[in-house]
Amino acid sequence: MRRTDLYRALLGAHGRIGRGLFRDGRALPPVQLFFEATARCDQACRFCFYRGELQGPEETAAAELPAEAILGIVSALPSARLVSFSGGEPLLRRDMLELLGRVGADRGVSLETNGGRIDADTARGLASLAARALVGPGLLGVDISLHGRPQTHDWLVRGRAGAFTRAAAGLEALLEARRAAGQRFPLVTVKIVLTATNLEDLPWLLAWARQRGVDHLAIKLLDPGRTALSLQGGQSPLRGTGRRLDPGMDGARLRELLAEALEPRRTGPEVFMIPLGASIDDAVAHYQGRLDPRSRDCLNPWSRLSVLPSGEYYLCKIFGAGRAAEMSPLQAWNSEPFRAFRRGLLERGLPADCVGCCYLE
Ligand code: SF4
Ligand code: SF4
């Protein structure tokens, strides 16, 4: 079984059991925690659904949850066997390696980064935190975003000349540090957000990743926008699925290149799409604005809890409620707003606002 299929099966089983047990919107304690560790970023990607909240790299870190608060949230949830850190750019936090080490002492951790800040020291630091087994404690994986050939990548991350070179150097430094330590972990994933601009670069990126011994290539379908997390499950600025997400995308070519990339191979990176359950037909329908989330399923609100840099809890891109300063993660998880949101999903199914979400099944 592929690692990504195993991950999906385990998360899915946990969510399905919780959803089946309670009809009042409660859920079993979450098995995964996501921290958007900072809103600061040194890129301004054209497709970033986080752009409304992004801050420059030089902004103050005062508004971010301090390490001790993050550790407090994690220790209040012994059920969370996997803790993931993203941003913004999480390596802009000076305490990121320390956080990965402390959280990873007794559970799995992972990191999503744009890769530009992984120098040789950081790479060695990350390798030193490596897990020893897929289900053990320690650093299981590092996802690095590379969105195509150098010139395509640099244009997509918005005029940062040399961004590809820096991210690629970071990835290579990490692979080298892992090799030098004789380790299998952290698993390294190259992540591409697929747009009309970089579609033709997909075969090139796959070959590039294979040559370097990358473990996974994740093809992330474009998310048309972030909805207002702080609206307590209320209105969303997204308006249904009746529009094309990327008007330049050629459906036939998309189908062809995805089929080629996803073809099973004995060697080279494991290739998958995000959402994990998406088929090639789904991907084509998604870019043509024909994939209606209302006909799909999602178990995420029964399995994962996320925390914004400000300490606000949220279930997913369309619903958040409660703050870490006011309640524990378990209180938030089964609080009335969270239960009401889950009840709404049970009674009415997914809303159209879910379009583009990573967790659509
Ligand atoms: S690196 Fe990530 S957080 Fe930063 S702009 Fe790009 S997509 Fe957004
Ligand atoms: S599919 Fe919808 S309900 Fe599920 S996590 Fe995504 S936005 Fe939330």
What is the pLDDT averaged over residues 318-334?
91
Q: What is the pLDDT of residues 129-165, one digit of tens each?
A: 999 988 889 999 999 999 999 999 999 998 678 999 9
37-41, 205-209, 219-223, 293-297: range with highest mean pLDDT: 205-209
Q: What is the pLDDT of residues 181-231, one digit of tens each?
A: 999 999 999 999 999 999 999 999 999 999 999 999 999 998 876 554 443
> Is residue 304 lining ligand 2, measured as CB closer than 6 Å?
no
Residue 6 CA to ligand 2 centre (angstroms): 21
| Three-class DSSP labels, the chain | CCHHHHHHHHHHHHHHHHHHHCCCCCCCCCCEEEEECCCECCCCCCCCCCCCCCECCCCCCCCCCCHHHHHHHHHCCCCCCEEEEECCCHHHCCCHHHHHHHHCCCCEEEEEECCCCCCHHHHHHHHHCECCCCCCCEEEEEEEECCCCHHHHHHHCCCCCCHHHHHHHHHHHHHHHHHHCCCCCCEEEEEEEECCCCHHHHHHHHHHHHHHCCCEEEEEECCCCCCCHHHCCCCCCCCCCCCCCCCCCCHHHHHHHHHHHHCCCCCCCEEEEECCCCCHHHHHHHHCCCCCHHHCCCCHHHCEEEECCCCEEEEECCEEEEECCCCCHHHHHCCHHHHHHHHHHHHHCCCHHHCCCCCCC
Instruction: Considering only residues 15 and 217, tell me which one the structure prediction assigns the higher pLDDT.
Output: 217
What is the pLDDT averaged over residues 77-96?
93
pLDDT band at 294 (very low <50, low <70, confident <90, very high): confident
Report the range of poorest mean pLDDT among 6-15, 63-72, 166-175, 273-282.
6-15
Q: Using a 6 Å CB cutoff, which residues line ligand 1?
A: 41, 43-45, 48, 50, 54, 87-89, 114, 157
* Ligand 2 atom having least distance to the Cα of 318: 7
> In the predicted model, what is the mean pLDDT of the chain?
89
